[in-house]
Structure 1
Amino acid sequence: MRVKPVFGRRSGDRSQDDAAPASAPKPATSLGDLLVPVDALVARAAYLELLLFQELSAIVNEAPALANKQHIGAAANAALERHRALLGGAEAAAEQASITRIGEAAEHFSGYPERVLGHDWAQRLLSCHLSSGFFRDFFGEVAEQGGERYRTALAPVFITDAERDQLLPVIEAAIHYEDGLGDRLAMWGRRIVGDTVLAIRLALDVPLGTSGDDLIPDGEAQLEKLASVLYAGHSRRMNTLGLAA
């Protein structure tokens, strides 16, 4: 099945002098040609890790078992450490600059946290697991296409297998012990993926209703290719939990 264009278009700022003649062959492009500056992407990654820390810290109070609280608390602490590492530790002299960068990053995701919040602790925990995986895959593609500077700056995002699986036993146990929860979470997982794709578009400065073709030749094809990769990762995470994607 062909994936529909999901990243939309944005208004181009190229002058007519930059446009190639209609008869000229289009140059080869890649996702790297669409990337925003590395500092901006790092700030956005740091903001998302801060959101994850805040949400997991809140869920700890709602989790019904001590073992659940331990897993969730460990995942929250790991997210906070990634946030700090992305900002270079935020030493005192740079603290205000870091706050400013995070504030600017937050503007790119306005409304997103509320749309994927969830209505109970299980939905909220699944949102954390799925959305963080979605963004991790996104930044992985960015690091692959952006070159050494992007790979180095975004390195804290790429967590170990042990960190990646910290929330799985909690979600799996909840599904096992509560009748009907699996079906409800499957619906929720399908519900939040659309909003997460929109947030990915905002992370690349591609507003709703505009095309990557306005930025570079075949830009929309690059965005569709990225969307396919991210959807595949989302499906794998859903299937691991026994939830139909």
Structure 2
Amino acid sequence: MESRAIVTSVENHVEDPEYRAGIIDLLGALGLGELSAFQRLAADAELAPTLADQAALAGMAAAEYRHFERIRDRLAELGVSVDEAMGPFREPYAVFHAKTAPSTWLEGLVKAYVGDQIGTDFYREIASAVDEDTRALVLEVMADAGHADFAVDRVRAAIEEDPSVAGRLALWGRRLVGEALAQAQRVAADRDALTSIIVGSAGRPGMDLAELGRVFARLTENHAKRMAKLGLAS
């Protein structure tokens, strides 16, 4: 009920300069995430052990690029280039990916399923506080491109074949969640306009500290559920 009240109240703020800047930041962060996902899935496809796996990942990469194009087109409608909107997020994304570079095919699958999904959950939470058109676009580009079932199937099969990989991947998953949550908090704190979308501003309500705490609790709970689905301890 609270999230719905926030959404209803922001419908009349789409022309507010601060709100518009926050939406551009939101779309910029999302767009860079989709572009990065495309690039990494394409690279992972080259490491896939079978041609069928390569083809599956290539298809997922193409879907992520289509998501990027949707955001790029919306930014163009707002009169903003991808460099202008996404540029501010390049460094935090680069830091995150440098700290979480997978060393194996399986680590890459876990990262795309577990690590990236924390960011997906975070932006879905923010979408509860934006206008209807922006929310619809966010939810559209956050839709699973088929990677979840693919990752779960391949990781579970690998564990069944060699149970010793489960421990290493569980440690990897815990590392991913720590880095991903830190990145989400850092991005929100460093961008005032994006922060205003989350916590609101004069005349436009947002989430209070208690609700923000619940948001990050839900991110952690969802992470644990995904780890369990992979057959890994969180």
Q: Which amino acid aligns with 2:49?
A: P
Of residues 132, 153, 162, the one that matches 1:178 is 162
Segments of structure 1 that go 5 or more residues without pairing to the other structure are 1-28
Q: Which amino acid aligns with 1:236?
A: K
Indicate how the Cα distance of structure 1 residues 125 and 203 shifts in structure 2: closer, same or farther if over 3 A, else same.
Answer: same
Q: Which amino acid aligns with 1:65?
A: T
Distance in 1, matches of 2:22 and 2:97, equals 24
Moved more, 228-237 or 217-226: 217-226
Of residues 209, 217, 221, the one that matches 1:232 is 221
Indicate how the Cα distance of structure 1 residues 215 and 143 shifts in structure 2: closer, same or farther if over 3 A, else same.
Answer: closer
Tell me the residue number matched to 2:13: none
Distance in 2, matches of 1:112 and 1:58, equals 17
**Does the 8 Å contact 1:60/1:73 carry over to 2?**
yes
Distance in 2, matches of 1:205 and 1:125, equals 29
Of residues 16, 19, 22, the one that matches 1:37 is 22
Tell me the residue number matched to 2:37: 52
The alignment's TM-score, normalised by the length of structure 1, stands at: 0.72
Distance in 1, matches of 2:98 and 2:111, equals 11
Query: Percent of pairs identical after alignment?
Result: 23
Shift, 1:127, TM fit: 0.6
Tell me the residue number matched to 1:120: 104
Distance in 2, matches of 1:73 and 1:176, equals 25
**Does the 8 Å contact 2:6/2:128 carry over to 1?**
no
**Does the 8 Å contact 1:189/1:238 carry over to 2?**
yes
Instruction: Output one character per residue of 1:119-156: Cα deviation in whole Å (capped at 9) or x when no partner.
Output: 21211221111122111211111112334243034133
Equivalent residue pairs, number: 209
Counterparts of 1:65-76 in structure 2, within 5 Å, are 65-76=50-61
The alignment's TM-score, normalised by the length of structure 2, stands at: 0.76
Segments of structure 2 that go 5 or more residues without pairing to the other structure are 11-18
Distance in 2, matches of 1:188 and 1:230, equals 17
Indicate how the Cα distance of structure 1 residues 144 and 90 shifts in structure 2: closer, same or farther if over 3 A, else same.
Answer: closer
Q: Which amino acid aligns with 1:87?
A: R
Instruction: Output one character per residue of 1:1-37: Cα deviation in whole Å (capped at 9) or x when no partner.
Output: xxxxxxxxxxxxxxxxxxxxxxxxxxxx97999x971
Moved more, 162-171 or 180-189: 162-171
Q: Which amino acid aligns with 1:74?
A: G
Tell me the residue number matched to 1:241: 230
Q: Does 1:190 align with 2:179?
A: no
Distance in 2, matches of 1:149 and 1:90, equals 13
Q: Does 1:150 align with 2:139?
A: no
Higher helix proportion (structure 1 or 2): 2
The one of the two structures with greater contact order (alpha-carbon pairs below 8 A, sep at least 6) is 1
Indicate how the Cα distance of structure 1 residues 219 and 144 shifts in structure 2: closer, same or farther if over 3 A, else same.
Answer: closer
Q: Which amino acid aligns with 2:176?
A: I
Distance in 2, matches of 1:83 and 1:167, equals 22
Distance in 2, matches of 1:80 and 1:178, equals 34
What root-mean-square deviation, in Å, do the aligned CA atoms of Structure 1 and Structure 2 show?
A: 3.3
Distance in 2, matches of 1:134 and 1:86, equals 20
Moved more, 174-183 or 190-199: 174-183
